[in-house]
Structure 1
Amino acid sequence: MEESAKRVLILCVDLDDDIGNKTGLETPIIGRENVLRAAERLALLDPEEADSNAMFASVKLSDDFSKSGYLTEVCVVSGLKNGGLDASRKAMSEIMHVAKLFSPSEVYVVTDGFGEEDIEPVLKARLPLAGVRRVVVKQSRAIEESYIVLGRYLKMLFTDPRFKRWVLGLGGLLITLFTVLSHFRSYEEVNTVFWSIVGITILIKGLDL
């Protein structure tokens, strides 16, 4: 049965390595029971962490395929805390390591919905990627809790070192430049300089230059 069954690999991708930073666990984490224990540990340490939900969803997806007669393996791979190209390279290295061990005929990616889009084209080019599932936590009080979630992400923008240097640093620079330039130049010139700086910054960040 196992020889003829399709081999399905379920990958839970944590590109910013929350699992490693918060639990101290090293990736890849391979196997249903190991992934479950890691998800429980992460959920206990940080009940609001979205990656634990993605890990539970990975196990459920693996179980669903197993019930349908597929031979499955589930694992968690991670990148690096600060993201970027190095994080993608690390995650891809772990993915290829697991794929070499399991030799899947189909690969499914499960994420918490943030940031993992960068590795999907590379993954699709190197493995038989059959689907991507983004796990979004349901809110029991939609409107009220939407504001709470939004507040948490806004707080993260101003407290997380990965984001605050762009939000506060760039914001402060632009306000200062706008104020100084407006004192000496016309509105049209100030507006041109302002948006040129914004555009260059977005380009640098987007291309990881």
Structure 2
Amino acid sequence: MTTLVVCLDRTDDVGRKTGLHSPVVGWEAVRALVTDVGLADPEDSSVNTLLESLRVAQDLRDENEEVVVAVVSGDHESMVSADRAVAAQLDDLIADYDPDSAVVVTDSAEDERLIPIVESRVRVDSVDRVVVRQARDIESTYYLLKQFLADEELRQTVLVPIGLTMLVFPLLATTVGPAKGAAAITTVIGLFLLYKGFNIDELLTRFAHQTRESLYSGQVSVVTYVVAAGLTFVGLFAGALGVSSLGDTPGVVLPATRFAFDSIPWLAMAALTASAGRLLDEVIGDEPVRRSFLNLPFIVVAVGLVIRGFSAYFLEQQGVIEPFVVSAYEFGVFSNERFVMVAGERLALFVVSALVVSLVGAQVASSLSESHGGDRTDGGADATTDAGTSARSDRSDPELTDGGANTAADPDRDR
């Protein structure tokens, strides 16, 4: 068994420093090449690579294997010419020594790109990469930086923000001061990291795609979404007006509760409008209506009632709003009496109403889903029946039966 221990040098560092032409074959020739390369450039890692090739060859000889050690170099003019030169030298070595396997020795990631060329010509049993111990961390960092700079997406994500920061900070430091400039840049970087961390760009792309598809397909939800957006702005405006009516109120709990109390009816209407539009799209479409879309409007109303009830309870406890008063006339009783509902009773009424609405929604969604499920079952049965009928008709086709019989009776007729 003959093993080829080949030292790869893609950029021909050995040839340029010693003036020798590759391939260099044989123990003594490679041993002399070590001295020549070391005298030409003692700091070159090729010296260690050549010594490693000799060591591997010596270990294999100690195991009674026939070993051929060689140094193969490329061309420093271009990568294509270098790879072709290495391929031609490997062909000559294989033709002269006919090795059964090869052990490849390299000293860089650049040389490791030649390994597929070696594998295409002879079986590679081992790859030995030599890294100088004193420069191991430096070389690893170098290759990591090289791979980083080769990735276009990483360059745009990391290098561009750093470059903009280095350009903008001196301008801000000279105009508004170093502290404000650093605060502004930190804020922008934080927003950028959040933008990338939450994949907002993908969400915006998906939203734009869905909006375009909805516009082209003429879905009802496009109109209802616009109406829901308008109702949302109205709700936010109503909440802001409610907060402004409080005046200078200390703390944030009471203003937040007032904002929720005034805005939640409009926000609930907005969510209800949007969900109704999505439900109409499901009803108009060919597919059966999913249970989640049937139950969503009831859930929106129930959540709105709960939030409204709790916010009203806290505001009434603080004296911001008056107790809920209902006249007897509203219940059909001709009387001047009035029923005053305290905060706890109002909260209980809202909570019970929310529970009733959610239960009704669940029941409606369940009943409608079961009716649609029966339609799907019938459709599946019809499809199965049609499929079985089609399969039986194919099997009963006399032409197909005759063709199969003739083929089975005379399989060599086409020959």
**TM-score, normalization: structure 2?**
0.33
1:61 deviation in Å? 0.3
Aligned partners of 2:6 and 2:103 also within 8 Å: yes
Counterpart of 1:116 in structure 2 is 111
Distance 2:19 2:116 in 1: 29
Distance 1:57 1:82 in 2: 27
Aligned partners of 2:24 and 2:70 also within 8 Å: yes
2:41 is equivalent to residue 33 of structure 1:
no
2:58 is equivalent to residue 63 of structure 1:
yes
Aligned partners of 2:23 and 2:72 also within 8 Å: yes
Counterpart of 2:84 in structure 1 is 89
2:131 is equivalent to residue 136 of structure 1:
yes
Structure with greater helix share of residues = 2
Structure with greater strand share of residues = 1
CA deviation vs aligned residue, 1:116-144 (integer Å, no higher than 9, x gap): 2322123212211111111011119x88x
Aligned partners of 2:8 and 2:114 also within 8 Å: no
Distance 1:57 1:125 in 2: 24
Residue 19 of structure 2: which of 10, 24, 32 is its match?
A: 24
Counterpart of 2:406 in structure 1 is none
1:115 aligns to what SS in structure 2?
Answer: helix
Q: Which amino acid aligns with 1:88?
A: D
Distance 1:14 1:23 in 2: 13
Q: Which amino acid aligns with 2:124?
A: L
Distance 1:116 1:138 in 2: 18
CA deviation vs aligned residue, 1:48-74 (integer Å, no higher than 9, x gap): 111121111001100000000100010
Residue 10 of structure 1: which of 5, 8, 14 is its match?
A: 5
| Map 1:129-168 → 2, pairs under 5 A | 129-139=124-134, 146=138
CA deviation vs aligned residue, 1:64-107 (integer Å, no higher than 9, x gap): 00000100010101001244111011011111111111111110
Distance 1:81 1:68 in 2: 37
Aligned partners of 1:88 and 1:118 also within 8 Å: no
Distance 2:115 2:82 in 1: 13
For this pair of structures, how many residues does the alignment match?
151
Distance 1:75 1:125 in 2: 18
Does 1 or 2 have the higher relative contact order (CA < 8 Å, sep 6+)? 1
Structure 1: gaps (5+ residues): 1-5, 158-174, 180-209
Aligned partners of 2:10 and 2:114 also within 8 Å: no
Aligned partners of 1:15 and 1:83 also within 8 Å: no
Q: Which amino acid aligns with 1:139?
A: Q
Aligned partners of 1:30 and 1:74 also within 8 Å: yes
Counterpart of 2:266 in structure 1 is none
Residue 38 of structure 2: which of 30, 38, 43 is its match?
A: 43
**TM-score, normalization: structure 1?**
0.64
Distance 2:103 2:4 in 1: 6
Structure of greater Rg: 2
2:95 is equivalent to residue 104 of structure 1:
no
Closer, same or farther: CA 56–112 of 1 in aligned 2, 3 Å: same
